[in-house]
Amino acid sequence: MPKITSSAHVFANSVAILDPNGEYTYQQLIDASNQWAYRFLLGATDLDGARVAFMVQPGFHYVAVQWGIWKAGGVAVPLCVTYPIASLQYVLEDTGASQVVIDTDFQEVLLPFVSASQLKHHLVHDEVTPQDMSLPEVSSDRPAMILYTSGTTSLPKGVVTTHGNIDFQMSCLVQAWEWKATDRTLCILPLHHIHGIINVIGCSLSVGATCEFMPKFNAVDVFSRLLSGELTVFMAVPTIYFKLISHWDTLSTADQHVIFDTLLKFRLMVSGSAALPVSVMEKWHIISGHWLLERYGMTEIAMAISNPFHGERRPGHVGLPLPGVSVRLMGDNEEIKEELEPGEIQIKGPNVFQSYWNKPSATQETFTEDGWFKTGDVAHLDGGYYKILGRSSVDIIKSGGYKLSALEIEEVLRVHPDIEDCGVVGLPDDEWGEVVAAVLVLKNAITKEEINTWLRARLPGYKVPRLYHFVEELPRNAMGKVTKNDLKIMFYRGSP
């Protein structure tokens, strides 16, 4: 099982978790997770890879349940707490989960289906008689967790990671970002995703640090915790930083100075799960004195590339390969790309997932013959740093013989003083193959013609959007990524 569950004994009396219900030590976490393991075993000696799904609020009980599944030899399947029942049903049926843990807040949503399906279920706050029995030995090559991809182009796929994968993913980031037992971090991220599970909870608890939980985001509450002087590490997605910046803009100059002086004392601030706009990075530097550390990862590989903890954090770039991770850029004709040549990011290392759950063909297709995982993301090397150009399926626009980066065009658009936010996509076109189209959130009224005149002074003509659509807010998934297929649908329905 992951080393995190055994190393906790070293920090038994230290505070592991702080959530809305109170403060919990590592010893309390050990004891609670052991009791969950006994409950899951149901008198057996080993779950032997049985899937256990859980829909639990972020906090102590979430971690105790997850560790308990691992200790019992099961495979943890975290359920998204905002999913509708149809999506939850898909995950439960696809994994063949044999047991389900349900928090009080989600009984109304999940319990009717679980009961009708005659699945063994546990309620988080049920009284449990303490037991004492031996737990199984679980090897590092056994599956530990199934997380689901976002399913933007097809049905979500279950990504199977082993205990060895998880151990490496945590130790790699602990080394790269210099996590310490004296650290204290705040988790405000969804916990059906690698960012919150590994980068925040996993890293902090594997070194004896303290992890605080705030189940619902609120800019005022987050700033209150950031200003407490107790936190040392903060990780969030670009959307959260954008909302914090918007709140900061409403504060007095005196309050803004207090925020700067306090945030400057943080050891590390990280952004991930979606591309970090350079404008957001620059504004956060004004607010906090920190250049956000941007990194690159995905469900299948956790983290693979990161800007350095020490040294230059280059805006618009995701940095250098992490320790023990191999990265290459591959062209369409299977040639390795050099400096400034775009290619698909391919990854090899102990961080790479084992398989897609019950999808052997999909698993085989996503690996090269020599064992490299094909991410589907396109990047180029720029002075040794990787710069993401976009997702090959949605962010690389093939227009008139050119391969255009939607992310590059978005960065330029965000600089415009009247544009709040934007998303760029390619739409099918008989003449050009694809044409560039932009969905904009405006600060102030401006015409398409004025935008194009401004853009042509900053971009070649073939990169300037031909179509525009104006909205109040961009559609996003749970991790703050703009859902670009939804943007495309807006144009099919007609642009105002």
- Distance, CA of 3 to CA of 172 (rounded, Å): 13
Q: Which regions of the chain carry the CATH code 3.30.300.30?
A: 396-492
Angle at 332 between CA 328 and CA 338, to 5 degrees: 40
Q: Would you state the pLDDT for residue 132?
A: 77
* CB within 8 Å of 175: residues ≥ 6 apart: 323
**Number of helices (H), then strands (E), in the chain:** 16, 25
What local confidence, expressed as pLDDT, does residue 396 receive? Answer: 85
- Residues 467/469/473/477 CA torsion (nearest 10 deg): -50
Nearest-5° Cα angle at 162, 96 to 483: 70
According to the model, what pLDDT value does residue 496 have?
A: 45
Query: Would you mind telling me the total number of residues written for the chain in this entry?
Result: 496
Q: What is the pTM of this model?
A: 0.86
Give the alpha-carbon dihedral of 412, 417, 421, 425, to 10 degrees. Answer: -40
pLDDT at 433: 82
493 phi and psi angles, rounded to 5 deg: -85, -10
Looking at domain 4-138, its CATH class is: alpha beta
Residue 270 is classified by DSSP as E
For residue 141, which of 113, 162, 172, 115 has the smallest C-alpha distance? Answer: 162
Q: CA torsion 264→240→64→31, rounded to 10°?
A: 20
CA separation for the pair 288, 256 (Å, rounded): 9
Let me know if 257 is exposed, middle or buried by CB neighbors in 10 A (0-12, 13-18, 19+). Answer: exposed
Integer CA distances (angstroms), 206 to 82, 191, 419, 462, in order = 28, 17, 42, 50
What mean pLDDT value characterizes the chain?
A: 92
Beta-carbon contacts of 287 under 8 Å, excluding residues fewer than 6 positions away, are 244, 245, 248, 256, 259, 260, 263
Q: Where in the chain is the domain with CATH 3.40.50.980?
A: 4-138
State pLDDT tens for residues 240-284: 998 999 999 999 999 999 999 999 999 999 999 888 888 899 999
Identity (one letter) of the amino acid at 382? D
Q: For every one of its 496 residues, what pLDDT tens digit does the chain have, with 9 covering 90 and above?
A: 668 888 899 999 999 999 999 999 999 999 999 999 999 999 899 999 999 999 999 999 999 999 999 999 999 999 999 888 988 999 999 999 999 999 999 999 999 999 999 999 999 988 777 777 889 999 999 999 999 986 544 578 999 999 999 999 999 999 999 999 999 999 999 999 999 999 999 999 999 999 999 988 999 999 999 999 999 999 999 889 989 999 999 999 999 999 999 999 999 999 998 888 888 999 999 999 999 999 999 999 999 999 999 999 999 899 999 999 999 999 888 888 888 899 999 999 999 999 999 999 999 999 999 999 999 999 999 999 999 988 777 788 888 777 788 888 998 999 999 999 999 999 988 778 889 999 999 999 999 999 999 999 888 888 999 999 999 999 988 777 888 889 988 987 654 4
Predicted local distance difference test score (pLDDT) of residue 494 = 55
Give the C-alpha separation, 16 to 23, whole Å: 8
311-354 confidence digits (pLDDT tens): 999 998 999 999 999 999 998 888 888 888 999 999 999 999 99
Residue 67 near residue 5, CB atoms below 8 Å: yes
Task: Tell me the two tokens of residue 127.
Answer: 């009284």
Give the pair of three-digit tokens for residue 421.
Answer: 């936010």
CATH code of the domain made up of 396-492: 3.30.300.30
Largest Cα–Cα separation, the chain: 73
